[in-house]
Amino acid sequence: VPLLRRAFFWLVSLLLASLIWFVSVHLSDRENARLQYGLLVFGAAVSVLLQEAFRFAYFKLLKKADEGLATISEDGRSPISLRQMAYVSGLSFGIISGVFSVINILADSIGPGVVGIHGDSPYYFITSAFLTMALVLLHTFWGVIFFDACERRRYWCLALVVASHLLTSGLTFLNPRYEASLLPIFLITLCTGLWAFSTAGGSFRSVRKCLSCKR
């Protein structure tokens, strides 16, 4: 259920972002391809910012609900920890964003056709798959870091998350040149993952302990 609420929030943010883009497209000159591209960039940037804003709003909502649950429950603690909520929220954000990005491509991929027949890259599908996976993971990690940063009021962390989101989205603009976009994005994913892991309290020692199955 929290997964769904989160997805809903993302959808609303997407809606608002597309609304802004749509309005701007209609108000502008259709013929100018560069302008259209610029508008697309603008739209994407706005959408990223809105997503982060909605993530923040969701954090506030969850805090309130958490406090409410804590007062109700018998031992004064809430049944779900904030970390879990952060994880779930990031995951659902990621899932819905990934699904929205990829499902049309998937649906087209079972149909008849040749990839890249008009001169685009023939690796379209596989790179889309990788990018979507990276994006889902990234959203999960960003969720964890974001919530933790809000909790501890480390605003530089927040700014870094937003900046990395913008950076990732910007990197996808370089897209037919896959070396330039795919590799950096994976590097970012890895780094963010490690950061999120350490934020959530893990460390090298705990990984070792887990792997060697010590009690």
Partner 1 sequence: MITFMNNSDSEEEPCNERTSLMSAESPPVPSYQDGLQASEAGEPQAHRKRRTGSSRSPNNIADGDMSDSRVPVRESALENEEEELTLKYGAKHVIMLFVPVTLCMIVVVATIKSVRFYTEKNGQLIYTPFSEDTPSVGQRLLNSVLNTIIMISVIVVMTVFLVLLYKYRCYKFIHGWLILSSLMLLFLFTYIYLGEVLKTYNVAMDYPTLFLVIWNFGAVGMICIHWKGPLQLQQAYLIMISALMALVFIKYLPEWSAWVILGAISIYDLMAVLCPKGPLRMLVETAQERNEPIFPALIYSSAMIWTVGMAKPDTAARGQSQQMRDEAEDGRENHRSPSHAESQMSETRSPVPTHPTTSFEELQEEERGVKLGLGDFIFYSVLVGKAAATASGDWNTTLACFVAILIGLCLTLLLLAVFKKALPALPISITFGLIFYFSTDNIVRPFMDTLASHQLYI
Residues that bind partner 1 (CB under 8 A): 1, 4-5, 7-8, 11, 14-15, 17-19, 21-22, 25, 40, 43-44, 47-48, 51, 69, 72-74, 96-97, 99-101, 103-105, 107, 124, 127-128, 131-132, 135, 168-169, 172-173, 175-176
> Least distance to partner 1 from the beta carbon of 37, Å?
8
Q: Which lies closer to partner 1 via its Cβ, residue 182 or residue 199?
A: 182
Report, in Å, the least distance between residue 4 CB and partner 1: 6
Six token digits for residue 108? 């087209």
Give whichever of 89 and 168 is closer to partner 1, judged by the CB atom: 168
Q: How far is the CB of 51 from partner 1 (least distance, A)?
A: 7
Q: What share of the chain is helix, strand, coil (3-state, %, to 5)?
A: 80, 0, 20
| Closer residue to partner 1 (CB): 133 or 160 | 133
Among residues 129, 135, 130, the alpha carbon closest in space to that of 164 is found at: 135
Q: Taking the complex as a whole, how short is the minimal distance between the CB of residue 49 and partner 1, in angstroms?
A: 10
* Nearer of residues 85 and 148 to partner 1, judged by Cβ: 85
Is-contact 146 86, C-beta < 8 A?
Answer: yes
**Residue 103's closest CA among 73, 135, 132, 140?**
132
Buried b (16+ CB within 10 A) or exposed e, 36-73: eeebeeebbebbbebbbebbeebbeebeeebeeeeeee
